[in-house]
Structure 1
């Protein structure tokens, strides 16, 4: 059972106001549909241009905040030159990188997870500062995957476990999306604005809560309990909401 209270109902969020809002967007499950494999997502051809237009309308106060590695995120959003935060806040484009280098033992961690995935028929995802094990095709493996990840962490200080949708990720300790938002919030283009965060996963809950505490609001995408007060049904609904904000 989720540890997050279900504060959000089916209430649609207010329209995006580019003159007042600062916009923070998760990627997978928020802007694009989740795919069976991380490399199999389909990015709408007009998405980078849409994000660029909204960023310009917001005076640059727009950032993509994702668990994906920064190079991968930049490749998927080629044509969008705005702020990008990858690896849950461990790396960034457009501001000083929150983490200059990964903790010791990164190579060993990645090798251990890759070997485990190969031996169990799971999907291994390589990340710049960590790695993830996906068990979408074997949901019964959730407990054993988590137990394995905890065992790895016992021998590698400096890393932490990040549960996600049908996946377990090991990332540098002290890294999170809400902490990334704290860093972004210090940039001059965000001054005087109200933060709006959109996300779909457990990894987004601290950021959704952060937006509300800072006087703005969070928007939960899809099903599941959440701290957010507003909800959109899926990435298509998010893109429609973004488009409506451009028309205002």
Structure 2
């Protein structure tokens, strides 16, 4: 795989952050920039054959602190908000239109988890997410099921929003919060002609990106510590393995 990528005329990298380039923090609000990772990404960005974009579920303000590199596309909240290579901030959804629905949901979710302090309610501005990483399995399953039911009871428009699930995780975000759609947008608005597309990610939101990458004959790499179902052609076991892989391409 290394030789194949190195043999490409040009390569366009799309990289997830948490669970892919770095281990997960205890909570999404913990921001610890990694100098070694920043140096690696800077070297990739300045390589004459490469272009790099970070596409994360984190809010953009967090990603900009974690990856303080100019001239690189940084996309937060799955691509709803981003900064382009010229430093221009782009918002692909009308914030004032979607925020009222999220405000109503936020108060209901806060009440629901109040008796369970190990839950974490993350307000990204553009979306709301419930994290149950440290919650006992049975309780997490019950509360997340109730939280999902609340979404439908409040008649939150499924024409505007989507419900994202995961391992002890639930999120409500605008429909456009889709990494596959974000890649389509970036390829259209910021072309990098004759390039091999390469995406690295670790969860089901990244699988949506894999679909787009594979249709364009690119390379999809899944980060998974144990055997897992994926459309990706290659599996790496950890963020450390991802960094090693990227170093080998320099």
How do 1:59-74 and structure 2 match up within 5 A? 61-74=51-64
Aligned-residue offset at 1:61: 2.2
Under a length normalisation based on structure 2, what TM-score does the superposition of the two structures give?
0.84
CA–CA distance in 2 between the matches of 1:108 and 1:152?
10
SS in 1 for 2:188: coil
User: Deviation above 4 Å: which 4+ runs of structure 1?
Assistant: 12-16
Deviations 1:66-91 (A, max 9, x none): 11111111112224541011111211
1:53 is aligned, of 39, 43, 51, to: 43
Deviations 1:137-166 (A, max 9, x none): 122212431332232244221322111232
CA–CA distance in 2 between the matches of 1:58 and 1:100?
36
1:135 is aligned, of 129, 132, 155, to: 132
1:230 and 2:234 correspond? yes
How do 1:1-248 and structure 2 match up within 5 A? 16-17=5-6, 19-40=9-30, 42-57=32-47, 61-79=51-69, 81-94=71-84, 96-101=90-95, 103=98, 104-121=100-117, 122-138=119-135, 139-140=137-138, 141-155=140-154, 156-157=156-157, 158-222=160-224, 223=226, 224-246=228-250
Figure out how many residues of one structure are paired with residues of the other and give that number. 235
Higher relative contact order (CA 8 A, sep 6+): 1
CA–CA distance in 1 between the matches of 2:51 and 2:152?
36
Flag structure 2 segments of 5+ consecutive residues without an equivalent: none
Under a length normalisation based on structure 1, what TM-score does the superposition of the two structures give?
0.85
Flag structure 1 segments of 5+ consecutive residues without an equivalent: 1-11
